[in-house]
Structure 1
Amino acid sequence: MAINKSTGPRTEKGKKVVSQNALKSGVYARDIVLPNESLADFEVHHQRFINDFRPQDIVASQLVRDMAVVVWKRMRLERIENKVLTELLNAPLQEEEAVGTKYLWRNEVASMVHIVHLLTDEYLAELEGALQNAIEFQEYQLSDEEISALATTIPILDTLLNLKYPDYELTPSYQLLSVYPRSFNLGLSENTSTQEMLEIAIKDMRQNQWLGAHRDAILKEYEAVRNRRLMAFMENAGTSRAFDDLRRSFSKLLAEYRRHEAWRSERQMLDMGMIESAPA
């Protein structure tokens, strides 16, 4: 009987639960060094605490190690929190997040919002020239061979050939438009005719011009969405409680270490006869 493998949570609620579990397991795990961590790194970390505190007996050594473990877990929590937050903030735009917005509700914006920041003024200026070239070449009914002959002097042709033919190498001088094939998927293949290629590219470039013209407003709306995600994460993920638990644990261990050191110092002075012991 075939067994379907779990693909993980699919709903936003399920993903939040997994994120919270990751944070909790990172803080409250019994193992000091988890499988994805380095024992050697922990030992270096622990040695720094030994160098700073210089414990003189087994009790002090254990307290110093415990403090090193707490700080190690705090560092782990920070890494996990950063990873979870990065994934959350860069997650695809959800339909409910675009409700009430002026731009994000549009499909062409929602699908491209993660690369709108690439549409700089410099890029758009070069894109304008490339668009005019593409329109002219469409009118001329150029063949692939003619396009290839012109590609070394006209960036858009060089770029389109790179999109159409996987083995085609971009001319190194076209640094700006070389972003184009990595950012926008036109769905071109070797079976796409020259005219189809130009028609698709012209449509896509016009769309990108529109996106560029509204870039700042789109990015402002998207930033508001990301801020709401961040606020929801901070309220629901329980990171504040986890950090507080670690902070209290460290403070308690540090206070205990200081009491132990005071006791040890007093014992040494008693042994040396420098102070009198309290009467029985």
Structure 2
Amino acid sequence: MKYVSLIIFIFIIGCNPIPKKDAHPEVPLLTELLKDNSKFRKVLDTEDLSELIFLNDDRILIKPNNSNLPFKIIEANKNVIFQDVYDWNLPFYVDKLGNLYFNRKKFFYPDYKKQEHFKTVVFADSLSKKSEQLKDLNDSLRLKSIEKYERELLRPYGLKPCEYTIVNTASCNVFTIRNGALLVRQTELFKIEIQKPKFEIPKFDDDILTGWNNGRLPNPVYLAYYKLNNQKFKCNDMTMPKTVTLRNKTYLYAASLGLYEVLF
């Protein structure tokens, strides 16, 4: 086993033999180009940010990287439509009409000022609590009791216990509104139904291997070459910049860099 890493490394070297020089030294790095205020306007950086989610109504949902911080729904001009702290142990859901569901409440689109308590059922939590209540039973009796409880729990919502969940993940997963309740039967507790697509930026040349990151298993470092409108730039291939259109304006987004309005 101690030679496995060496064998994999030799295989990678065989596929990508020798690092090469930058094929386009005259092309600016994206990180440098973003500093040009005549070409880009910074909208959001990556501080305290887990994810930016672009909604179909051209708003932006800012998901924080800390449960003590509020999520926000803003416009591209940074006007805050709504913000609140939510319990990460409970589901967060945006339905196809733009309504928000979190902290066992429903917040109505578009300004979210109207709200009401909303029943939320996370089946895994209910089953876990039931199992804890039955911990004094032997394994056989506890299993039978939990199976019966699960059938009774699912029946009002037209669901049945799901066998072989690893094989049937797609059909077993449930994250929807049914019978006046938000139902969740999956591990992921965060779902957005109205995401706006992001688009790949065309490349004007092939990626090039420029080096290796040292580690237990060396990782290749590639430089990628892009062309947005008539502007060429380059960046690490893992940056993966994309564009998104908001209010008929084009924005460049990369998870490691943030969101910038394209001015050219």
Flag whether TM exceeds 0.5 (same fold).
no
Q: Looking at both structures, which has the greater relative contact order when contacts are Cα pairs under 8 Å and sequence separation is at least 6?
A: 1
Give TM-score scaled by structure 1 length. 0.24
Q: Which of the two has higher C-alpha Rg?
A: 1
Give TM-score scaled by structure 2 length. 0.25
- Whose strand proportion is higher, 1 or 2? 2
